[in-house]
Amino acid sequence: MTAVAIGALLYEGKAKRVHATDQPDLVAVEYKDDATAFNALKKAQLTGKGALNCRISALLFEHLERCGIPTHYLGVRDSLWMMVRPVRVIPVEVVVRNIAAGSLCRQLPIAAGSRLQPALIDLYYKDDALGDPLLSEARLERLQLVSPEQLASIRALALQVNAVLGELFAGVGLELVDFKIELGFTTTGDLVVADEISPDSCRLWDRAISDSQERILDKDRFRQDLGGVVEAYGEVLKRVQGVCPEPRVYG
Ligand code: 5GP
């Protein structure tokens, strides 16, 4: 395979940069060490976070694909780069919750730590300036972001992701508390999971630890100033790579 040349910066987000490449149906995503929380009011540089999230995301995307769930992922290159198919991302953050935590408990009288069965799906309009507001179905319809049929496919895909990842994590002693995914359409119109899936976008608790702070292995360590953020992400990687094949190298 000839080496892919990485081209112009197309978009810079809080945790990643997206670049064009010299191939039309290929974009390159660079994972950054930048950590942000509370709509970027809290910021830090966490050395090693980009590489950890790139690798964890790669392993999880490949696992999803093996389980028949389509994603934008094609492979990794070096430690910080992920090669993906270009996708028109739907500006909706899809959050699936298995255990009550975070904003759910701040906004509703639901006790933190209570199990949510069936899993709860919350949709948010992806817009930093507006603070990613919670969407109702009526608001979603008003914005005309997706058709009712597409919404049904998005929900079904999100629940499939939840089932597959929940099982994977449970197998390595981790509880998938909740997670956020983004979905989009490829140039051929297929709905796929895009963006990243990492401890930046999931809540993961060590099942063997009952202490409500010690068990946290995700971005809540950063949000709550608990320290040990990179070490926690490293622990997630160690466990996941113990049960997944090496990620494929692309480009
Ligand atoms: P919450 O609603 O409690 O803020 O978040 C629910 C889940 O979605 C958590 O796992 C959280 O990390 C993830 N999440 C929510 N919003 C975002 C976001 O804008 N970016 C990322 N990376 N994850 C998010």
- At 14, is the secondary structure helix, strand, or coil? coil
Site to probe by mutation for ligand 1, drawn from 201, 224, 229 as the one with most ligand atoms within 8 Å of Cβ, is: 201
Q: Break the chain into its structural domains and give their ranges.
A: 6-84, 88-227
The alpha carbon of 96 and the centre of ligand 1 are apart by a number of angstroms equal to 10
Q: What is the CA radius of gyration of the chain?
A: 17
For the CA of 15, the nearest atom of ligand 1:
22
Element (H, E) at 27: strand 27-31
Burial track 22-50 (b if 16+ CB lie within 10 A, e otherwise): eeeebbbbbbbbbbbbeeeeeeeebeebb
Tokens of 164: 């597959």
Name the amino acid, one letter, at 116: L
Rounded average pLDDT per 10-residue block, the chain, 251 residues: 89 97 96 95 97 98 98 97 98 98 98 98 97 96 95 98 98 98 97 98 98 98 98 98 97 81
- At 48, is the secondary structure helix, strand, or coil? coil
pLDDT in tens, 181-207: 999 999 999 999 999 999 999 999 999
CA distance to 51, 79, 226, 246, per residue, from 97 (Å): 26, 30, 22, 29
Give the residue, by CA position, lying nearest to ligand 1 atom 2.
103
Residue in the structure block whose two tokens are 């699936």: 96
Beta carbon of 13 within 6 Å of any ligand 1 atom? no
**pLDDT for 251:** 81
- At 233, is the secondary structure helix, strand, or coil? helix
pTM over 0.85: yes
Beta carbon of 182 within 6 Å of any ligand 1 atom? no
Full DSSP string of 148-192: HHHHHHHHHHHHHHHHHHHHHHHHTTEEEEEEEEEEEEETT--EE
Residue in the structure block whose two tokens are 């934008």: 72
Q: Which residues contact 204 (CB under 8 A, 6 or more apart)?
A: 169, 174, 175, 176, 177, 216, 217, 218, 236
The alpha carbon of 31 and the centre of ligand 1 are apart by a number of angstroms equal to 17
Beta carbon of 219 within 6 Å of any ligand 1 atom? yes
Tokens of 34: 């930048």
The alpha carbon of 220 and the centre of ligand 1 are apart by a number of angstroms equal to 10
CA distance to 38, 85, 117, 235, 245, per residue, from 230 (Å): 19, 28, 31, 9, 22
For the CA of 179, the nearest atom of ligand 1:
10
Beta carbon of 195 within 6 Å of any ligand 1 atom? no
CATH 3.30.470.20 correct for 88-227? yes
The answer to whether 17 touches 28, Cβ cutoff 8 Å, is no
Full DSSP string of 71-135: BSEEEEETTTEEEE--EEE-SEEEEEEEE--THHHHHSS--TT-EEEEEEEEEEE--GGGT-PBP
Site to probe by mutation for ligand 1, drawn from 46, 106, 134, 180 as the one with most ligand atoms within 8 Å of Cβ, is: 180
**pLDDT for 3:** 86
d(CA 234, CA 247): 16
- First-to-final CA distance of the chain: 7
**pLDDT for 200:** 98
The CATH superfamily label for domain 6-84 reads Phosphorylase Kinase; domain 1 (3.30.200.20)
